[in-house]
Structure 1
Amino acid sequence: MSRYTIASVSCGKDSIVIPYECIRRNLRLDEVIMYDTGMEFQAIYNEWAALVKLLDKNGIKHTVLHPEYSFCWQMFERPVNVGKENEHLGYSWCGGTCRWGTADKRTILGKYAEDRDAIVLVGIAADEPERQEKEFKPYKRFPLIEWKMTEADCLAYSYQQGHEWREHGANTPSGTVRLYEILDRVSCWCCTNKNMGELRNIYRYLPEYWDRLKELQRKTCRPMKGDGKSVFDLETRFKLEDARVAAGLSIRNKDFFRELSTVLGVAQL
């Protein structure tokens, strides 16, 4: 590659592989950038700090980019639909059909690359072809696909390099937990794209982050996962699940959902 080459690294299990392999394969890599939403798990910042040591050792520039406005200002205070009937403050939760944080990231990363006429290496694994289609831009390259590295390959590789994404955890013998053992993706801790299993694990193993989710929910009337599924509703659900499991009862039948609906005071879920 003759053009200035940037690796876009979120410090998740896939993208973090790129600088290691570029160095190992003696491929051009001029700069590594990370976009910091301000709502990342602490483990992400820790892994970035570890990666920076490798980059410094190899003389590779590294840069952290930030959104123009803070995440919380956009979530709660940004004027939206000004002058229209549904004018209001704040986008509320980011995720689903309203991925405003992702839009900001793409815009800022795109401008950064354009200003430098750069090629950008993006960490999409070989078993994620649908993501490649969504992310395609003429200036983007997908080296993990070229190297035929799957998500599982990338996680194993990252672990071998010493990246473990550990957080202080509850209900674990060691007092810590590896995020990829309880989450499918280590995206922002407040992303509404997290599935029920991931949210259940945050509640059980990462109480500090669960408390932060409750703080966000207090500031918006929109339930995190839809009607009857605010963060507080989900906490009620998880507590009921734990109680039923402890009593030897099922949490996958109509009785459970009938009881949950009664406790929440909503129509049967």
Structure 2
Amino acid sequence: MARPGSLWVVGTGIQLMGQVTLETESALRDATKVLYVVTDPVTKGWLADLNPSAEDLIDLYGEGKQRIETYHQMVDRILECVRAGEDVCAAFYGHPGVFVYPGHEAVRRAREEGYRAGMLPGVSAEDCLFADLGIDPGATGCQSFEATDFLVYRRRFDEHVPLVLWQISCIGQLTHETETSIRGLELLAAHLTQAYSAEHEAIVYEAARYPITAPLMARVAVADLPRAPVSGISTLVVLPARPALADRTMVEQLGLSDSYVLRKAQRAIPETARA
């Protein structure tokens, strides 16, 4: 039998509260305690109106403070409320399982201690990216890495497939900082130019956070990354260098036609990225 107290970890989407699912809204309304980390005052006000128990955890961040320390403090606060018998709903902007260590860790620890706990999906920056840039991961695939991880572990990648790199503003930074890591961008540019030309085009992308604004899609040459307009929410999309070459033997063995290969080649570069 489950112990008193429960946990739902949910996401509020990227663009204000308009991307909140009905399932998430119900969980927020029904909770006896809401804890949240969101970035805009409108969503904060909406959460407070929806559930008066709402408590902001953003103040746990601190300039120069280790991010992992902040994350553990968030998990501790969430579990403190669950252990007190509350039906907790912890809300994070975007998708609660994408770049949200506290969400995963809180669910894991709550379940380990015998509490009912789960996660509800939300709209992530990646979902917005696919829509805004016209990238269909089902067309040619898509490869996605956190930028520091990409460099440190020298992740293998395919230059014929869109390459998405997250958190490019804080490469190599383990503390909470407001300044972009220019050194990190220099190292990233040098690494990418080993596979692409210095002039190869990439896109610095930021999803629109408000209905009246447009997403940022700034084109930049790979070599110019250190001088690109990068903020704390910027993502880098490196466009394919060229269409991949089909394995003719496999095409024949699968009984595929030449029109299949032609269609795939035509979709290798996203339509929006061609403009």
TM-score band (shorter)? 0.3 to 0.5
TM-score w.r.t. the length of structure 1 is 0.37
TM-score w.r.t. the length of structure 2 is 0.36
Task: Answer 1 or 2: which has greater strand percent.
Answer: 2
Q: RCO higher in 1 or 2 (8 Å CA, sep ≥ 6)?
A: 2
